[in-house]
Structure 1
Amino acid sequence: MNVRDRVTELRRVPAGCLTPHPLNWRTHPQGQRAAMQAVLGELGYAAALVARELPDGSLQLIDGHLRAEVTPDASVPVLLVDLDDLEAAKLLATHDSIAALAGVDRESLDELLGRVETESPELQAVFDGLAAQANPTGVDVPANLPDLDIPETYQVVVDCRDEAEQFEVYQAMREEGRKCRVLTL
């Protein structure tokens, strides 16, 4: 596969000077804003926003809208990319979406969350949410469960009008020598 490098430069610019992409489809509820402000407050900028330069010289955001919104007076790192309108739209549609397809390695996530600390209730809520997503049932299942050899069985389920018909069908099948059980769902 021939992969092109579309990054042309890294530039630091005031976040308030960046133009949001008109097709940005992500919304940012207050809880997410508070968590972003908390992580930026604790760590600062550790990743660049992504933008492209428009013909008038302005910079149009493709990724990083929330970071720019919550720190409008900050000078932020921006990766400039040479994408046209259609390519920028494609990146906008796929950038976060592909990241959201990732799975979860529960053991690694548990170890990671055991190492991070925060005094921010907003970030703690993010960490708690990650832990809950990794184990939505709340039941700890051992990672090394043995493979079970479950033999195939062939069954028939018969819907009956009522309990009396269920008993009649059961009796008839037993008289034929069938092994059967009565279930009520």
Structure 2
Amino acid sequence: MQIRDRIRELRRVRANELRPNPRNWRTHPDSQRDALRGLLAEIGYAGALLARELDDGSLQLIDGHLRAETTPDAVVPVLVLDVNAEEADKILLTHDPIAALAGTDHEQLTALLIDARFNSPHVAQLLDGLAQTAAEVEAAVERDCEEVRIPESWQVVVECRDEEDQREMFERLRGEGRRCRVLTL
């Protein structure tokens, strides 16, 4: 598979010059806004916003609306993508959900939560929620992994040539009064 590089350039642009995407579907609760302000104050920008250039030369955001809103007077890093409106919509729709599909290495997360210290109480609150969610997931996994108790029984698994042979065997055994069920593995 050949993968195209759609990044045209990295520009530094005043955030209030970026045009919000009218199709942006993400909303940002106060808790997220507060945590982002805390992270920006403590760390600064560590990732670029995504935008595409419109016919009039302006840049329309694809990702990074909250960062741009939070720091309107700041000069921010923007990856200018070589995409059309339809492709921008696809990125807008899937960029965050793809990231959300990532799994969690609970040991690594726990170690990071123990070691990382932030000054912002809003970031600490975000991390407390993350730690609580991780603990709940861990507990659920442990509950699901408890030993399964199978009552003593005597069974035979019969390998059949095909589905028709399976159906015939099932009907024959049922006809003999045997309790049986069809399994396909």
Is this contact kept in 2: 1:31–1:122, CA < 8 A? yes
Residue 136 of structure 1 aligns to a residue whose secondary structure is helix
Alignment match, 2:86: 86
Q: Is 1:13 aligned with 2:7? A: no
Give distance in 2, aligned partners of 1:137 and 1:100.
15
Partner-residue secondary structure (3-state), 1:33: helix
1:23-71 deviation per Cα after TM superposition (whole angstroms, max 9, x unaligned): 0000011111111010000000010000000000010000000000000
**Alpha carbons of structure 1 residues 86 and 111: separation in structure 2 relative to 1, 3 Å:** same
Query: How far is the alpha carbon of 1:137 from its aligned partner?
Result: 6.3
List structure 1 runs of 4+ shifted beyond 6 angstroms. none
Q: 1:138: Cα distance to partner? A: 7.7
How far the C-alpha of 1:119 sits from its partner, in A, is 1.9
Corresponding letter in the other structure for 2:44: G
The number of residue pairs the alignment matches comes to 151
* Corresponding residue for residue 35 of structure 1: 35
Structure 1, unaligned runs of 5 or more: 155-185
Aligned to 1:105: 105
TM-score when normalising by structure 1: 0.76
Task: Tell me the TM-score normalised to structure 2 length.
Answer: 0.76
Gap runs ≥5 in structure 2: 154-185
Deviation at 1:150, TM superposition (A): 3.8
| Identity between Structure 1 and Structure 2 (%) | 54
Could you say what secondary structure the match of 1:62 adopts? strand
Q: Taking structure 1 as reference, are residues 103 and 141 closer, same or farther at Cα in structure 2, changes over 3 Å only?
A: closer
Cα RMSD of the aligned pairs, angstroms, is 2.1
- Counterparts of 2:86 and 2:49, CA distance in 1: 19
